[in-house]
């Protein structure tokens, strides 16, 4: 196992967090929920909690890429996207669909959130690819 690229981990968190600001801001708003111009304290806390979870996610991706090894990743660069996108498609999105379905979240909101997580994981994979 090679070393975890901690610089890529930090940059991946920043990219995925920045994507969230754009995704849930100008791009899709709050998924059709009531909008407010002033940030709510709860929204700020939720974003900080999301950032903490993104640190865990990016660290796990960094660990996975370190386990695969730099030589393998250099020979097969598509693994960055296959592994990061695969995690989103095989674990994160099904868990999201299950929990959102059980709590009767509207389909539009569910699709927006699922799209974010796929885009975020692929963006983190891109960061590791570029900084690998």
DSSP for 46-108 reads HHHHHHHHHHHHHHHHHHHHHHH-HHHHHH-THHHHHHHHHHIIIIIHHHHHHHHHHTT--HH
- Could you tell me the residue range of the domain that residue 118 belongs to? 6-131
Task: Report the chain's mean pLDDT, rounded to a whole number.
Answer: 89
Find all residues with CB under 8 Å of 25, minimum gap 6, and list them. none
Quick one: which of 89, 70, 88 has its CA closest to 128?
A: 70
Lowest mean pLDDT among 14-23, 31-40, 84-93, 99-108: 31-40
How many distinct structural domains can be found in the chain? Answer: 1
Nearest-angstrom CA–CA distance, 105 and 52: 24
Prediction pTM value: 0.86
Has residue 1 been placed in a domain?
A: no
Per-residue pLDDT, averaged over 86-92, amounts to 96
Kindly report, residue by residue over 23-78, the tens digit of the pLDDT. 988 888 755 454 544 456 666 677 788 888 999 999 999 999 999 999 999 999 99
Find all residues with CB under 8 Å of 28, minimum gap 6, and list them. 112
């Amino acid at each position: 196992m090679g070393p975890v690229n901690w610089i890529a981990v930090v940059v991946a968190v920043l990219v995925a967090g920045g994507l969230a600001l754009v995704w849930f801001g100008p791009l899709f708003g709050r998924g059709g929920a009531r909008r407010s111009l002033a940030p709510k304290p709860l929204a700020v806390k939720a974003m900080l909690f999301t950032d903490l979870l993104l640190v865990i996610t990016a660290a796990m991706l960094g660990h996975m890429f370190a386990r695969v090894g730099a030589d393998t990743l250099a020979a097969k660069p598509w693994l960055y996207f296959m592994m990061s996108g695969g995690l989103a498609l095989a674990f994160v999105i099904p868990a999201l669909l299950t929990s959102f379905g059980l709590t009767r979240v509207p389909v539009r909101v569910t699709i927006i959130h699922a799209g974010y997580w796929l885009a975020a994981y692929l963006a983190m994979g891109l960061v590791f690819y570029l900084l690998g």
